[in-house]
Structure 1
Amino acid sequence: MSITIINDPELAWQERALCAQTGPEFFFPDPGSSTREAKRLCGICEERVACLEYALAKDERFGVWGGLSEKERLSLRRRQG
């Protein structure tokens, strides 16, 4: 197992996020699979807001970021317009 050290202070939240301690299968499920577990972890993660802000700024199109699915982030972007 390798550990990646993030030197960018703007990305340091990634090391503290709960998703860094779990497998990617929760956050990048197969099409049609549930995102419930990922959203549950996001809901208790102290880095949820930073994660969502990152995903919106980088236009992440896949997976659960900051507790929102792809469709939910797209909807949020459209409402923020």
Structure 2
Amino acid sequence: MDLYYPMAMGLNKGLKVNKNVSKPSHSHCHCHHCSSRHHLTKHPNFVQDMTGEVCSFAQYERHARKGWRHISAPRR
């Protein structure tokens, strides 16, 4: 007498898994709604102002540092 054992054969064998569906990527929008990501929060803004005072930058250097926040350039 033959015993019947289920066998996984063909393309549908193995563990059943769900396909990973990725979210749509961020469009890096520069409209006025999305411009808030360029603003510093309270603490980093405070730290930058405090280091400017401790290092005793001149007034024109302080204004120049505000422009450097959004670009990656050498600071001095």
TM-score of Structure 1 vs Structure 2, range by shorter chain: under 0.3
Higher RCO (Cα < 8 Å, 6 or more apart) = 1
TM-score, scaled relative to structure 1: 0.25
The structure number with the bigger radius of gyration is 2
Q: Considering fraction of residues, name the structure with more helix.
A: 1
